[in-house]
Amino acid sequence: MPMLKHFVNFYSPGTFISEESTQDIKSWDVQKAMKMADAIAERYNATPYGFRFSTRERKDDDLDSSVTKTSHMYFLGGKIKTLKDIQAENDPSNRILISNMEINNIKRVVVNTNSYKSVLPLEKDDVVLNYTPPKRKESKTDG
């Protein structure tokens, strides 16, 4: 019997690469995914900056399922900045960001501070949602 299943993959800031959490979802429902994001906390209490949907399918004679469709990225809030915006800030700490944007022809980025600051390219079809992360309790560590 053929199988079709939908997933939402959440992305949170990580030390070197993004942390990822994948969960089942009945359909590509943006509002439902936003609510699901509220409950996610990765290492060091990092919370999602965005998510992407995918659909996996498997036919009767397939050994495993495969991704047959993916969505663009949905960013959970953030501020859109162009290269000119960042250059105008005249902040020396943006030197590498500016260089990367120029070299890679990146026109816009989204700056997200839901937990740790993430600055990521904003592609043509990506969406920045109106989203406010939930208030979280501060985690305490024993010195």
CB neighbours of 86 closer than 8 A, spacing ≥ 6? 94, 97, 98, 101, 109
Sketch the domain layout of the chain as residue ranges: 3-129
Question: pTM of the prediction?
Answer: 0.87
**Average confidence (pLDDT) over 100-127:** 95
Contact 10, 47 (CB under 8 A): no
Confidence of residue 137 (pLDDT cuts 50, 70, 90): low
pLDDT tens, position by position, 20-56: 999 999 999 999 999 999 999 998 889 999 999 999 9
Per-residue HEC secondary structure of 80-118 comes to: EEEHHHHHHCCCHHHHHHHHHHHHCCCCEEEEECCCCCE
pLDDT at 80: 98
- Average pLDDT on 6-13 reads 96
